[in-house]
């Protein structure tokens, strides 16, 4: 009887740290990044931001999952502060040109347009077109941005498009 009781007590003591670890959330950057993207999919931008921030705190810029986590954080920033998203994305593109290609420029610009952030979308696409002039998809995306800005009647975006030679 005493032996059974001691065994149960030992088992309970072993399970407590596991239970506490489960409550505190993941410390694996890949899992945190996945949680961030799941939160983005639900439109929970603050939770996404927190998950990506936690993932990035555990990653070095040279780590394989860094760019994926940073892209998620940038997407979350689009809704909270499009200018910060713009700056963070262009810095990521500058520091990781081998991993941030024309596809990423288009993705970020499209997310900015969806959030009605035309000025930052135009800047990102303009930088993408300059960096990847050979990609016709970016020019097609710029045409979509032009149409969306005109439809929304955004005079500043239209003026910017004109000044950059896209209208």
Please tell me whether residues 39 and 62 are part of one structural domain: yes
Tens of pLDDT, residue by residue over 103-112, are: 999 999 999 9
Residue 8 has pLDDT above 80, yes or no: no
With cut-offs at 50, 70 and 90, classify the pLDDT of residue 118.
Answer: very high
pLDDT in tens, 65-109: 999 999 999 999 999 999 999 999 999 999 999 999 999 999 999
Residue 111 pLDDT: 96
**Geometric angle at alpha carbon 66, from 60 and 69, rounded to 5°:** 130
Asked if 161 and 114 sit in the same domain, the reply is: yes
Exposed, middle or buried by CB within 10 Å (0-12, 13-18, 19+), for 75? buried
Number of domains in the chain: 2
Contact, 145 vs 119, CB < 8 A?
no
Give the residue carrying structure tokens 């610009």. 109
* Structure tokens belonging to residue 21: 């670890």
Query: Among residues of the chain, what percentage have pLDDT more than 90?
Result: 83
Residue 13 lies in a domain: no
pTM given for the model: 0.81
Residues 109 and 160 in one domain: yes
Where does a domain end: 80, 107, 142?
A: 80
Domain that holds residue 156: 82-167
Assess if residue 129 is contained within a domain. yes
Decide: 51 and 65 in contact? Cβ < 8 Å. no
**Apex CA 127: angle with CA 73 and CA 94, to 5°?**
55
């Amino acid at each position: 009887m005493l032996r059974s009781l001691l065994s149960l007590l030992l088992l309970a003591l072993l399970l407590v740290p596991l239970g506490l670890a489960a409550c505190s959330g993941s410390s694996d950057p890949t899992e945190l990044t996945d949680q961030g993207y799941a939160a983005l999919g639900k439109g929970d931008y603050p939770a996404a931001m927190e998950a990506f921030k936690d993932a990035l705190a555990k990653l070095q810029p040279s780590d394989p999952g860094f760019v994926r986590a940073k892209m998620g954080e940038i997407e979350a920033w689009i809704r909270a502060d499009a200018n910060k998203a713009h700056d963070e994305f262009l810095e990521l593109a500058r520091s990781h040109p081998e991993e941030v290609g024309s596809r990423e420029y288009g993705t970020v610009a499209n997310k900015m347009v969806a959030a009605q952030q035309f000025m930052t979308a135009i800047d990102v696409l303009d930088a993408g077109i300059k960096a990847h002039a050979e990609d016709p998809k970016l020019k097609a995306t710029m045409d979509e941005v032009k149409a969306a800005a005109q439809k929304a009647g955004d005079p500043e975006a239209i003026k910017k498009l004109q000044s950059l030679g896209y209208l």
